[in-house]
Amino acid sequence: MCGRMTITHKVDAMARFAGAAPANDLPDGPRFNVCPTQAVGVVTSTEGSRLYRPMRWGFLPRWYKSPTDGPLLINARAETIAEKPAFREACRQRRCLVMATGFYEWTKDAEGKRLPWYIRPANGDPLVLAGIWQDWAAGEDSHTTFAVVTCPAGEGLSHIHHREPVSLAPEQFAMWLGEEGKGAARLMTAAPAGRFESFRVDPKVNSNRAEGPELIEPI
């Protein structure tokens, strides 16, 4: 799964990597502990024109009467995304690139204590995750929201968690965004071995209030 991420690449670098024009209201960085319900920059495509813009992390189905009317849907499982009423329309029509630098995952020790790991692309490139998005509104309250697509973990990350976010290489961006016709379902698989590096980090990141570059220092 994916429940916490970092965004430390600069906005212009992210936009260039995705071939997108940056919006003016993207959150400032660097950010070392991005949590659900916060704004994250994602890339959408309209008639082949890509825009890098902020969205709220936590997909809100249209039938929610408020942002807290049901579970916070931060992830969408690849195995059921095309069938779940909350996700199936967005999966077909509103896919996006979630732009990040890395993400956190947890294991447990023999006493049940949560041990955080930091995971990022081994080559230093931005981390680009497959996402789906949706506009939501109720009365005067409105949000543009997204969820990260997840799949069973591959050999590179299965020692940490049984699931991982679907990550995309640059040559896959156009297919996921719908710019190259059908076939996006084939991309919802685990990352190839060697794409990520992972290492233990300080448990202070267990708090969603923690922030700062020391959170991603290896221990």
Query: Residue 166 corresponds to which tokens in the numbers above?
Result: 């679907």
pLDDT score of 181 = 84
What domains appear along the chain, each with residue ranges and CATH number? Answer: 5-216 (3.90.1680.10)
**Under 8 Å CB-to-CB from 200, ≥6 apart: which residues?**
115, 116, 117, 118, 218, 219
48-94, pLDDT tens digit by residue?
899 999 999 999 999 999 999 999 999 999 999 999 999 999 999 99
Measured between alpha carbons, how far is 94 from 165 in angstroms, rounded to an integer?
Answer: 18
What strands lie across the sheet with 5-7, from one edge to the other? 31-34, 5-7, 102-108, 114-121, 196-200
Measured between alpha carbons, how far is 82 from 191 in angstroms, rounded to an integer?
Answer: 21
pLDDT score of 79 = 97
pTM here is 0.96
How buried is 208 (Cβ within 10 angstroms: 0-12 exposed, 13-18 middle, 19+ buried)?
middle
Measured between alpha carbons, how far is 211 from 215 in angstroms, rounded to an integer?
Answer: 7
